[in-house]
Amino acid sequence: MAAEQPSTVDPGLVARHAAVEAGVAEACRAAGRARDEVTLIVVTKFHPASLIRDLAALDVHDVGENRHQDAAPKAAELADLPLTWHFVGQLQSNKARAVAEYARVIHSVDRDSLVTALARTERPLDVFLEVNLTDDPGRGGAEPGALLPLAERVLEHPALTLRGVMAVAPIDKDARAAFARLRGLSERLRTVAPHAAAISAGMSGDYAEAIAEGATHLRIGAAITGKRPERP
């Protein structure tokens, strides 16, 4: 049951959060899945710490950020809250140690050098391997053919727990088909890491399709937070 909502929480935020929760529950029912199989991560990119505090009042505990320079001060300001911070953006290897100071889950591991940098922090981290589902090599994510060698690198480091795969559906392709492909890659990953069954997929416009294809972690921003402020 959600925590009692303080009167200061924006009614629009309350309504958007409730609508997405209802949508997730319905998508789970349609897919024959239990709601508790799916973790809802609210991505708070460019929003102030005060919005995250309001989300916590709505019983949100998983928060996603994609820029270290924005996330670090928010995490420090909100250290009194029981939040799990997920880093969902592209991560430079030279920022791995700083991000590991507050984030407990990294969704964008896509190369050997980043695995090495995260392992050197010696902090326990859950990691997802990001896969590029487009034909553009400039997009974030490892090529599908590099997935298993990258997984093997993660498995070499005791501080890193390999959770599964992550991807963003291509804008110009059918989301359901993209997530079906990701599900196949998840099955391939489990041939070398049977425990790594999680799938981080689905955003504001395609989370129902992601749930239908087995997503366990949704990364939802504007559908809950509302329009993002202008980029600082």
Question: What is residue 227's predicted lDDT score, i.e. its pLDDT?
Answer: 87
**pTM score, whole prediction:** 0.94
CATH at 38: 3.20.20.10
4 confidence band (pLDDT: 50, 70, 90): very low
Are 118 and 100 contacting, i.e. CB atoms less than 8 angstroms apart? yes
Question: Does any domain span residue 122?
Answer: yes
Rounded Cα distance, 84 and 73, in Å: 15
Question: What is residue 3's predicted lDDT score, i.e. its pLDDT?
Answer: 45
Question: Does any domain span residue 186?
Answer: yes
Better-scored residue on pLDDT, 6 or 171: 171
Task: Count the Cβ atoms, other than its own, within 10 Å of residue 168.
Answer: 24
Is 90 exceeded by the pLDDT of residue 8? no
- Rounded to an integer, the average pLDDT of 4-9 is 63
Rounded Cα distance, 134 and 165, in Å: 15
Amino acid at 232: P
Task: Count the Cβ atoms, other than its own, within 10 Å of residue 138.
Answer: 6
Q: Provide the domain limits for residue 53.
A: 11-225
Question: Does any domain span residue 5?
Answer: no
Strands 39-43 and 105-109: unpaired
Question: Does any domain span residue 4?
Answer: no
Rounded Cα distance, 126 and 13, in Å: 29
Kindly provide the b/e burial profile for residues 185-208, where b requires at least 16 CB atoms within 10 angstroms of the residue's own CB: bbeebeeebeebebbbbbbbebbb
Question: Does any domain span residue 2?
Answer: no
Reference 220, options 20, 5, 15; nearest CA is 20
Domain total in the chain = 1
Q: Please report, to the nearest 10 degrees, the dihedral formed by the alpha carbons of residues 30, 131, 186, 213 taken in order.
A: 10
What are 181-227's pLDDT values in tens digits?
999 999 999 999 999 999 999 999 999 999 999 999 999 999 999 98
Is 80 exceeded by the pLDDT of residue 231? no
Question: Does any domain span residue 149?
Answer: yes
Reference 165, options 100, 109, 91, 225; nearest CA is 109
What are 148-192's pLDDT values in tens digits?
999 999 999 999 999 999 999 998 889 999 999 999 999 999 999
Question: What is residue 27's predicted lDDT score, i.e. its pLDDT?
Answer: 98
Rounded Cα distance, 232 and 73, in Å: 14
Question: Does any domain span residue 139?
Answer: yes
Is 90 exceeded by the pLDDT of residue 94? yes
Question: Does any domain span residue 230?
Answer: no
- Rounded to an integer, the average pLDDT of 126-151 is 94
